[in-house]
Amino acid sequence: MSEQTSFYEIDAKMEILRDLLDQATEETTAQFDAALDLSWIYHDNALEGIVLHFHELKAAVDSRIISDSTLIPMYDEICAHKAAIDLVRDLATRRRVVFDLNTIKILHQTVTIDHNGKQYHYRKENPLHRLYFHEIVQPEKISYKLRKLVDWATTPEFKKMHPIRRATSVHQQLIAIYPWMKNSGKVARLLMSLLLYRDGYLPAVIHAVERQRYYEVLRGDLDAVTGLVLASLENDIDSATRFLREDYEDDEHGLTADGWPAA
């Protein structure tokens, strides 16, 4: 199947999902967003090698649950991730989303817990031990490469690309720059989701089972990354469509294989 055909099929499925969201009640929409957030945080952390438990996620993101944060590992990290997702949604709903260096920095500051006052600075070295094995730019080129990325997003070439291709390309380039020692991967995926949201799509939540494939495609070309993002986005749209059609309630049993709360 060609990439253009895949784009067409995704767009057709997304149109059906938009209709379902338009018809959904406010309560159902809130349940949908809550389920999506749990799946998003769970799988995005799994890509970073962090396994979260469902009760931890619920306790951290559900304001109805009163819990002692000292008893929940990763509580602050989960809350920061949820705040970053909320920021992505907020930015995407604004009349004009400005894709600039400040947006990238704010996403990083929101998702990152700064324990030592150094997390917000660009990295000064190439880490010897890291999860990602693709080539990253030298530290002295980070600022230059970020400016080039932002400038490129204003060009006719960028604007003519399919929205999914645009978002994927920005993600690939930002994670290749790898600006920070911590959360560069999360920020790249958050930015991709922001661009997708802005153009009327769901975020592309890459699932835990695709972790090794994700690392591998980052070492390849844009086509390889786009293929994985398309597959992830299609899975997310299919899961969301089932969720809205069935209109089920979360019974707190955990996450299903496709990443949504178990029925």
Q: Is 52 exposed, middle or buried (0-12, 13-18, 19+ CB in 10 A)?
A: buried
Comparing CA positions, the residue from 182, 183, 203 lying closest to residue 38 is 203
Q: How much is the pLDDT for 130? A: 72
Point out the residues of the chain with pLDDT beneath 70: 1, 63-71, 73, 115-119, 128-129, 247-263
Sign of the four-CA dihedral 80, 84, 85, 86 = positive
Residue 17 to residue 242: CA distance in whole angstroms: 10
The predicted structure's pLDDT at residue 59: 78
The CATH H-level superfamily of 3-246 is Fido-like domain (1.10.3290.10)
d(CA 263, CA 49): 26
Q: Which of 80, 84, 79 is nearest to 58 (CA)?
A: 79
Where exactly are the structural domains of the chain?
Answer: 3-246
What does the block give as tokens for 206? 């890459």
DSSP secondary structure of 144-155: HHHHHHHHHTTS
For 81-152, where are the E strands, in sequence order?
none
At 113 the pLDDT is 85
- pLDDT (0 to 100) of residue 133: 83
**Nearest C-alpha neighbor of 43 from the set 256, 246, 200, 192:** 256
The pLDDT value given to residue 262: 46
Predicted pLDDT at 99: 85
